[in-house]
Structure formats: structure tokens, C-alpha cells
């Protein structure tokens, strides 16, 4: 933010916003109009609703997320609607954690939630990850170490951004999902409750490849210990502030107790309009243009990287099938943080990015300071090649020096 204010012409590869041009202006206007012209529904939507959120939306979300009759399909009573999924990540963590409790997360992972966990006094321990998401051998080894150190009772949950994660756009593979469930089920028998927080914020931003089943419905028992988090922020609009979580029944009441002491429920009107967007088919209608826009911008970023960065020794990047980010790795000795040489060289050339070190926990895996998160969500497509050319110039100059 400070850099953008200091250099107003700077091109930002940092902001994780969605593209302004894809915001569903007509779709939202039509849905709002439909609610406004239904007096009974309008009157209801302008009243308080339950803390867990609109019953109609919660019902719709269960069918929309998990299909007709999939294996461990949860019930609408397990859904809590919030003002975005960040709010629910916060509430669930606050419900479950005491200071000193341990959360396992991928290295790298979503830095905003790590900040939330740190503010609650939790210890975040990172686990090795690659393009297929968290590595299960390392997860098992990390858990074994925590048991050996006498800390098993402090381990509360594993946090994963399962599909096209923020920051690296990795996708947790089917084999790893199955192994994860086995590890957690064994842990729960040997050491007591542990949950999986499955953050699906980018699940619907898939441009290619096949979808993989959500953890929640992969086994008959998984809905007892998986908490699914969803949001319309990426696939529709962040401004409507509608997110949700689906949690095991035994913890829903505690979360609602905490939520009701904060807000008596999230904005009802938004939920009613969003339900109309889903049930009228407007969400589905919006998807093709949204995905085409982001896919085209991702392709532009990848071809610009091929063109401008592929000759720089030791520079690599992942090619994701979805999401909003490209994860770039520099030679090990180059520090991409704000105190390092690349940051200065990049801002001198008028481009900024998110230094990857923010996305690593202090414990567990080493912090990779030679990494960058590049966002293609918010930049107009015509600026992407220019941004990558400037960034590649900065990287070349630092590598050469
Ligand atoms: C991984 C991840 N989870 C959750 C969120 C929160 O989204 P919201 O609160 O808008 O639903 C974000 C937003 O960028 C995100 O990247």
C-alpha cells in the first residue's frame, strides 16, 4: 500500500483483488430487482434472520456444493453463513484455539489467516508443500515430532487451501486427499480430536483439468472432522460479502454462540439476493465469461514469463490450472523481501509483488525468502506483459549483480 501511494504509476502484481471488469453488475441488478419486487421476500430480507444465516441459502448451498446424494453429505444445520469466509475462519479459530495451541499449515500458505492465528497466540507449524499441495510424508513426520515432544494434545487443526491455493495455486491431489483423511482418522483414534480446515476460496476458479472431490464428502466419516469454508468473493463478487462454512455438528453451537455475541447474523439482504443468484441460474451463467477472462490473463502472464524470464538462470515458476496467482522462485541466494535488492530494483522499474516470505510460518519448514507471489487477477490484460518485462529486468539485474 505504502509503495502504491509513494509511486502512483506503479504496476501492482501484488493485489489479490478480483478483476473489476468481471464484476456481475447486470446479474446482481437483476437479482436485486427480483427481490425488490417480491414484497413478502423483501420484507423478510429487511428483518434480522438467524445467526446461522438464511435457511433458504443454507439449503441451496448444501445442494450446490455437494450435489444430490454424495457420500457424507452434510445437512443445512451444519452451515453457518458469514460476511465473507475470513470472518468464519476467524470465528472457528477463536472457538477452538487457546494460546499455545498448534495449527499445521502448508509452506507457503494464506498469510492473512496466519496473521489471525498468530494474534490468537497459536503456534503455526508449516509442512512441506509442492504443486500437488501439502506433502503427506512430511505431515506425518511433523505430527510424529510433535507427539515425541509431548505436544500431541495441543494440535487442533490442519489448515489447507485445497484448490488453487493462495499464494501458490497448488491443487491438493486426490491421492494426498485420501492419505490426509487416513492420517487424521488414525490421529483421532490415537490422540483425540483434530480437525481439517479446508478453505475452498478458489475452488470455482478452475480453467483446466478436472475437479477433485471435496474432503468433506470423500468418506462417510469426513464430515465429522472436516470444516469446509466457501465464499462468493472470487467466483462472483467480494463486495456482496457472502461466505459460509460447513462444520461438524458438535462445534456449530459453540461457533454460533460466539457469532451471536458479535453480530446477530451477517447481512440478511445480501444472503437473500445471493440465494436468488444461485437458484435462478445467474451464478452459472456468469461463470464462462469470468473463467475465460482469468484464463486469458493467466496465459498472458505465463507467456510473458516464458519470453522475459526463461533465460534467467535459476528462475522457475508454477503453471497453475486455476486461481489468481503464479508462484515464482528465484535462485536461493536472492532475497525477494522489502529489505532485499530485488524489491528496490523492481520498484525502481515501477512494479511490485508480494514477497513470498510472508506466506511461511516461523516454525517447521524454512522460510523461502527467494519466492514471489504474482497476481494476475486485478491487472488489465494489456499491462501484464509490461509488468513481467519490468520484473524480469529487475530480476536479471539482481542476479547479474
Ligand atoms: C485463501 C483465502 N481464503 C479466504 C479468503 C477470504 O475471502 P472472503 O472473506 O472475501 O470470503 C481469501 C481472500 O483473498 C483467500 O485468499
**pLDDT tens for each residue of 154-170:** 999 999 999 999 999 99
> Ligand 1 atom closest to Cα of 89?
4
In 324-375, which residue ranges form alpha helices assigned H by DSSP?
341-348
Report long-range pairs for 276-285 (Cβ below 8 Å, ≥24 apart).
276/31, 276/34, 276/35, 277/24, 277/27, 277/28, 277/31, 277/236, 278/57, 278/60, 278/61, 278/64, 279/60, 280/31, 280/34, 282/24, 282/27, 282/30, 282/31, 283/27, 283/232, 283/235, 283/236, 285/27
**Model confidence over 338-387: pLDDT tens digits?**
999 999 999 999 999 999 999 999 999 999 999 999 999 999 999 999 99
Q: Which of 166, 227, 274 to mutate to test the pocket of ligand 1 (most atoms within 8 A of CB)?
A: 166
Residue nearest (by alpha carbon) to ligand 1 atom 15: 201
- Band of residue 5 on the pLDDT scale cut at 50, 70, 90: low
- The band of 9, judged by pLDDT with boundaries at 50, 70 and 90, is confident
Selection from 318, 317, 110, 323 nearest residue 208 by Cα: 323
Q: Ligand 1 pocket check: which of 15, 93, 110 to mutate, most ligand atoms within 8 Å of Cβ?
A: 110
> Residue 10 C-alpha to ligand 1 middle, in angstroms?
25
Closest CA to 355 of 363, 346, 364: 346
Kindly state the average pLDDT of the residues 165-184: 97
Q: How far is the CA of 139 from the centre of ligand 1 (A)?
A: 24
Atom 3 in ligand 1: residue holding the nearest Cα = 201
Find the 120 Cα to ligand 1 centroid distance in Å. 19
Q: Rounded to an integer, what distance in angstroms lies between the CA atom of residue 144 and that of residue 150? A: 10
Q: Is the pLDDT of residue 17 over 90?
A: no
Which atom of ligand 1 is least distant from the CA of 87? 9
pLDDT of 289 above 90: yes
Compute, in angstroms, the gap from residue 19 CA to the centroid of ligand 1: 15
Residue 4, pLDDT above cutoff 70: no
For 30-40, write each residue's pLDDT tens digit: 999 999 999 99
The helix or strand, by DSSP H or E, that contains position 141, with its residue range, turns out to be helix 136-148
| Grid coordinates belonging to 395 | 530480476
Taking the centre of ligand 1 as the mean of its atom positions, its distance from the CA of residue 204, in whole angstroms, is 13
Looking at every residue in the chain, the average pLDDT score rounds to 95
Q: Which atom of ligand 1 is found nearest the CA of 161? A: 1
Cα 175 to averaged position of ligand 1 atoms, centre (Å): 25
Q: Which three cell numbers stand for residue 132?
A: 500437488
Position 397 pLDDT exceeds 80? yes
Give yes or no for a contact between 78 and 229, defined as CB atoms under 8 angstroms apart.
no
Mean pLDDT of 220-241: 95
Q: State the cell numbers at 156.
A: 487442533
Q: How far is the CA of 190 from the centre of ligand 1 (A)?
A: 33
Cβ < 6 A, ligand 1 pocket? 16, 84-86, 110, 161, 166, 199, 201, 231, 233, 238, 243
Q: How far apart are CA 75 and CA 58, in angstroms?
A: 9
CA of 231 relative to ligand 1 center, distance in Å: 7
Judge whether residue 7 has pLDDT over 90.
no
pLDDT value at residue 51: 97
* Residue 375, burial from CB neighbour count under 10 angstroms (0-12, 13-18, 19+): buried
Q: Which of 83, 92, 112 to mutate to test the pocket of ligand 1 (most atoms within 8 A of CB)?
A: 112
Q: Residue whose CA is closest, atom 16 of ligand 1?
A: 166
- Could you tell me the pLDDT band of residue 52, with boundaries at 50, 70 and 90? very high
Burial of 25 (0-12, 13-18, 19+ CB in 10 A): exposed
Cα distances (angstroms) measured from residue 146 to each of 108, 262, 367: 20, 35, 20
Ligand 1 centroid – CA 50 distance (Å): 23
Contact criterion met (CB below 8 Å) for 395 and 342 = yes
Residue 69 banded pLDDT, cuts 50, 70, 90 = low
pLDDT value, residue 400: 82
Specify the DSSP class assigned to residue 20. Answer: G
Assess whether pLDDT exceeds 90 at residue 58.
yes
Amino acid at each position: 500500500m505504502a509503495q502504491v501511494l509513494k509511486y502512483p504509476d506503479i504496476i501492482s502484481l501484488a493485489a489479490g483483488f478480483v478483476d473489476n471488469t468481471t464484476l456481475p453488475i447486470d446479474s446482481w441488478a437483476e437479482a436485486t430487482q427480483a427481490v425488490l419486487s417480491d414484497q413478502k421476500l423483501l420484507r423478510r430480507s429487511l428483518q434480522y434472520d438467524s445467526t446461522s444465516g438464511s435457511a433458504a441459502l443454507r439449503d441451496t448451498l448444501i445442494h450446490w456444493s455437494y450435489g444430490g446424494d454424495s457420500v457424507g453429505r452434510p445437512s443445512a444445520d451444519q452451515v453457518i453463513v458469514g460476511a465473507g469466509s475470513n470472518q468464519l475462519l476467524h470465528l472457528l479459530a477463536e472457538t477452538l484455539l487457546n494460546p499455545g495451541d498448534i495449527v499445521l499449515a502448508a509452506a507457503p500458505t494464506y498469510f492473512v489467516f496466519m496473521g489471525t492465528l498468530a494474534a490468537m497466540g497459536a503456534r503455526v507449524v508449516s509442512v512441506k508443500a509442492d504443486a500437488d499441495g501439502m506433502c503427506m510424508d512430511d505431515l506425518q513426520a511433523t505430527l510424529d515430532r510433535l507427539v515425541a515432544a509431548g505436544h500431541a494434545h495441543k494440535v487442533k487443526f490442519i489448515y489447507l487451501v485445497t484448490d488453487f491455493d493462495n499464494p501458490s495455486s497448488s491443487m491438493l491431489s486426490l491421492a494426498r486427499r485420501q492419505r490426509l483423511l487416513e492420517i487424521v482418522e488414525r490421529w483421532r483414534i490415537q490422540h483425540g480430536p483434530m480437525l481439517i480446515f479446508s478453505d475452498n476460496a478458489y475452488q470455482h476458479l478452475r480453467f483446466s483439468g478436472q475437479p477433485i472431490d471435496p474432503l468433506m464428502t470423500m468418506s462417510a466419516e469426513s464430515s465429522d472432522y472436516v470444516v469446509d469454508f466457501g465464499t462468493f468473493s472470487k467466483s462472483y463478487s467480494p463486495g456482496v460479502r457472502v461466505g459460509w462454512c460447513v462444520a461438524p455438528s458438535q462445534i456449530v453451537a459453540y461457533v454460533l454462540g460466539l457469532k451471536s455475541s458479535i453480530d446477530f447474523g451477517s447481512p440478511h439482504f445480501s444472503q437473500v439476493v445471493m440465494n436468488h443468484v444461485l437458484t435462478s441460474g445467474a451464478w452459472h451463467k456468469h461463470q464462462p465469461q469470468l473463467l475465460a477472462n482469468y484464463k486469458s490473463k493467466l496465459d498472458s502472464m505465463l507467456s510473458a514469463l516464458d519470453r522475459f524470464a526463461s533465460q534467467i538462470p535459476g528462475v522457475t515458476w508454477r503453471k497453475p490450472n486455476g486461481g489468481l496467482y503464479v508462484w515464482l522462485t528465484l535462485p536461493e541466494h536472492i532475497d525477494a523481501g522489502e529489505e532485499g535488492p530485488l524489491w528496490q530494483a523492481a520498484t525502481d522499474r515501477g512494479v511490485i509483488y508480494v514477497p513470498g516470505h510472508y506466506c511461511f510460518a516461523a516454525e517447521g519448514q524454512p522460510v523461502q525468502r527467494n519466492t514471489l507471489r504474482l497476481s494476475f487477477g486485478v491487472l488489465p490484460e494489456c499491462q501484464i506483459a509490461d509488468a513481467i518485462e519490468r520484473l524480469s529486468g529487475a530480476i536479471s539485474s539482481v542476479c547479474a549483480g
